Chains A and B, each alone.
Chain A
Amino acid sequence: ETGVTQSPTHLIKTRGQQVTLRCSSQSGHNTVSWYQQALGQGPQFIFQYYREEENGRGNFPPRFSGLQFPNYSSELNVNALELDDSALYLCASSPGARTTEAFFGQGTRLTVV
C-alpha cells in the first residue's frame, strides 16, 4: 500500500508566475484535501476534492484552484503568485470526505521571490 506522495518537494517561483503542485492519494482513498502551512503557523485548509468535485473551500482567493482526476490524484494550481504564497503545501488523502482517517504527504515547499 503506497502512501501519499507530493511533487515536487521544493520549488522557487517568481512573483506573478503560476505554479502547479501534485498529489497522489493513498491507495483506496477517494478524497484529497489541501492545506497551506506558512512559516511558524499551523496548516490552513484550502479546499477538498471528493470524487473529482470540489467539496468544501477555505478562505482562499479564486487564484487558488484545484483538480482531482479519475484515479483520485490531485493538483493545486496557484495563479499570479504573491510573496505571501511562500509556504509548505500539504496534501491529505482519506477514504471518504472525513478527516478521521486522513493521511498527509511530505509537502511541497514553495518559495516565491
Chain B
Amino acid sequence: AQSVTQLDSQVPVFEEAPVELRCNYSSSVSVYLFWYVQYPNQGLQLLLKYLSGSTLVESINGFEAEFNKSQTSFHLRKPSVHISDTAEYFCAVSDPPLGGSEKLVFGKGTKLTVNP
C-alpha cells in the first residue's frame, strides 16, 4: 500500500520569504501525485497535480512542485509567500498508482503560517 510522509508538521515563515514543504511517498513505480490546501474550517482544494509529462507542475497562485522519481519526492515550493497562503497543505498519492478504483492516500499535513 502507498504511504506519504510530510516531513514538517509546521512551517512558520515571514511574508515574502520563500518556502518549501516537503513530501515523500513510498512507491517505486509511477504514481499520480497531488497537493491539496485546506483553509480553516473548510474542505480540501486541489492546488496542483502531477499525472505525467513535465516533472515541474505549477498552480495559478504561484506554487510549484517537482516530481522526483529517484528520490520519490514531490516537494511544494513558492518563491515569495503572502499572508493569505496561511493554511494546511496535504500531499497525496493515488492508490493503486495508475488504475482501478483509485483512492487518495494523504500525508498528515503541514501547517504553513505566514507572519507579517
With known contacts A41-B108, A106-B43, A48–B90 Cβ distance under 8 A: no
Number of A-B contacts (CB under 8 A): 66
The reply to whether A99 and B102 form a contact with Cβ atoms under 8 Å apart is yes
The reply to whether B90 and A97 form a contact with Cβ atoms under 8 Å apart is no
With known contacts A100-B49, A104-B44, A44–B106 Cβ distance under 8 A: yes
For chain A, give the interface size range.
Answer: 20 to 34
Helix, strand, loop or mixed for chain B's interface?
Answer: strand
The reply to whether B107 and A98 form a contact with Cβ atoms under 8 Å apart is no
The reply to whether A97 and B108 form a contact with Cβ atoms under 8 Å apart is no
B: residues with CB less than 8 A from A are: 4, 6, 32, 34, 36, 41-46, 49, 51, 90, 92, 94, 100-109
What 9 A-B pairs are tightest by C-beta distance, nearest first?
A: A42-B106, A56-B101, A45-B103, A104-B44, A99-B102, A106-B43, A104-B43, A55-B101, A97-B101
